[in-house]
Structure 1
Amino acid sequence: MRDLTPAATPARRPALRRLLREKWLHLLLVPLALLWLSPLIWIVITSLKTNAEVFDQAAGFWPKALNFANYPNTLAVAPFGTYLINSVIVTGSILTGQIVTITLAAYAFARLEFPFKNALFTLFLLQVMFPIYAIFLTNFVTLREMGLVNTLPAMIVPFVASGYGTFMLRQSFRQVPSELSDAARLDGCGHFSILWHVYLPLVKPTLIAFGIISVVTHWNDYMWPLLVTNSESVRTLPIGLGLLAKADSGADWPRLMAGTTLVVSPLLLLFVIFQRRFIDSFMHTGVK
């Protein structure tokens, strides 16, 4: 019987080259994905170690036994349940306020005509040009005069408007054909009806993209909540992690990594559930 293996080998080569041509991007992205995931993997593995294993160079990368007790121990050190609720309230309130303000401001700057519109838009964008740390003192003094220090509104009020979000949405509104709004106006629609029924459905990708940026930014915010709060009842998750890192006996790294896992898990879960919508929002931001 003849051996067909040598003859079959040349026939496989075109198929292999075709596979490489079609999948070369995947071969490039897989190492990059592993590189991006490596800090998350290290955090999760460290959260399952003992404190002795973290500082023992001979212990190796993997823990000898999975120490899941770090998670309930972390929750017992600080009221992370309260921190979680506060983070959800603060992040959700900021996002809701920003969506309302940037939508109205962007529509006005994109489709309405009023005196000094361009000058006002330039002034409005100044907050994008200045770093947020440059206005911390002014915001703090204002909130103190209003009696809002050490309250949840103190972490929400300074961020209910966004110059970046207004600029982003204004550019999307300007890409919507004016014939659509003209037709709606002929049908008797006012500005709010046109905004709701014509513009907003067409700029959903932009709103989703901005929502992702806003949620990630304010969920992870540390400096401003640390400045305006001084009691556990109004603190957020990043502040709780900071308290774990500043313990009198030094940072308990397994517990700190367990707390970090708890903080980033909601965002990762949100991404896993809505990953297709997230990716589409960035790939198709704007109106074609």
Structure 2
Amino acid sequence: MSAAPVTHRPAPGAPTAPVPDPAARRPRGPHRSRRATVGLGLLVLACSLVFVVPLYWLLTSALKPNEQIYTWPLTWIPRSIDLGNVVEAWNAAPFDRFFVNSAITTGVGTLLEMGLAIMSAYAFAFIPFRYKKVLFVLVIGSLMLPGHVTLIVNYITVANLGWLNTYQGLILPGIGSAFAMFLLYQHMRTLDPEILQAAEIDGAGHVRRMLTIVVPLTSPMILTATLIVLIGKWNEYVWPLIVTSTADMRTLPIGLLFLRSQEGYSDWGALLAGTVMASAPMLLLFFLAQKRIIGGLAAGALK
């Protein structure tokens, strides 16, 4: 028989050890969580100010008289709104032509780039062909190279074709986008292959399957990639700078350089107003579509 466990009872009148109260430790968790939340909020606020303050200064200074731009201490809130800087910038440089050139190169370039990206992503996702994996690795590997690596080669090619200072010279060298193709490829891989197999049995070819099935199902990611490509082409600076030589072919980012050469550094109000005119369309587009852009990038990364 096993011996019964012996329990030691305290003697009558002897002091007993205090029993720890579990509830006493509970506030530490919420307090720590609250401190972490406050610290994270302050960090996010500091990072936001790094981007928001220059943007706010740009927008407000474009509407200030010049004397308020140069005052010290800084005038953060304009005492009066002056649209003279916008008028002066518009008259100092042919901004109407700059806008037309940017609209043509951005619109046509985005359509061609996205069309090529959709077809390439479909081919890599659904069409078996020889050396597909090797070619896919080479295309994705191009993302690791800076764009300036191919700058000289593209310039020599465009010059030999006689396309300098033309729309085709501005647009065609930049229509290959491995980034957009990869986003669409990742999304297309998640589609149910049985849908495409059923369409193939019904006699649909690759073009019909791509246009009637894959493109509608991939439309959210196509929209995200289109917005990213659109913003990138609108803000492109280096290639339009070296491939154009006259003011009537310049785009808006190069137009700001033209405006600076016209106004020098003496009239910052006009320069800032020109910067606002050049950046306002893409800023507005980003603020309207930021959820779509961020959501699409996150979905592509997860899938």
With the length of structure 2 as denominator, give the TM-score of the two structures: 0.79
**In the alignment, what sits opposite 1:10?**
none
Q: 2: CA distance between counterparts of 1:208 and 1:31?
A: 32
Cα distance, 1:273 vs structure 2: 4.2
1:205 to 214, 217, 220: 220
Assess, with a 3 A threshold, how the Cα gap between structure 1 residues 32 and 249 changes in structure 2: closer, same or farther: closer
**In the alignment, what sits opposite 1:67?**
82
SS at match of 1:175: coil
Deviations 1:14-58 (A, max 9, x none): xxxxxxxx9x99998677655533222110111122333322314
Matched, 1:172 2:187: yes
1:135 to 126, 150, 156: 150
SS at match of 1:104: helix
Range 204-213 or range 59-68, more displaced: 59-68
SS at match of 2:189: helix
**In the alignment, what sits opposite 2:108?**
93
Amino acid paired to 2:132: K
**In the alignment, what sits opposite 1:246?**
261
Unaligned runs of 5+ in 2: 1-36
Q: Is the helix fraction higher in 1 or 2?
A: 1
Assess, with a 3 A threshold, how the Cα gap between structure 1 residues 116 and 283 changes in structure 2: closer, same or farther: closer
Q: 1: CA distance between counterparts of 2:145 and 2:292?
A: 31
**In the alignment, what sits opposite 1:45?**
60
Cα distance, 1:74 vs structure 2: 0.6
Deviations 1:237-259 (A, max 9, x none): 00111122334642521111111
Assess, with a 3 A threshold, how the Cα gap between structure 1 residues 99 and 287 changes in structure 2: closer, same or farther: farther
Assess, with a 3 A threshold, how the Cα gap between structure 1 residues 194 and 239 changes in structure 2: closer, same or farther: same
SS at match of 1:164: helix
Number of aligned residues: 270
Cα distance, 1:86 vs structure 2: 0.7
Assess, with a 3 A threshold, how the Cα gap between structure 1 residues 73 and 272 changes in structure 2: closer, same or farther: same
Q: 2: CA distance between counterparts of 1:89 and 1:160?
A: 14
Q: 1: CA distance between counterparts of 2:43 and 2:73?
A: 33
Is the radius of gyration larger for structure 1 or structure 2?
A: 2
**In the alignment, what sits opposite 2:95?**
80
CA contact (8 A) 1:205 1:284 kept: no
Cα distance, 1:260 vs structure 2: 1.1
CA contact (8 A) 1:93 1:156 kept: yes
Cα distance, 1:128 vs structure 2: 1.6
**In the alignment, what sits opposite 1:222?**
237
Range 199-208 or range 153-162, more displaced: 199-208
Unaligned runs of 5+ in 1: 1-21
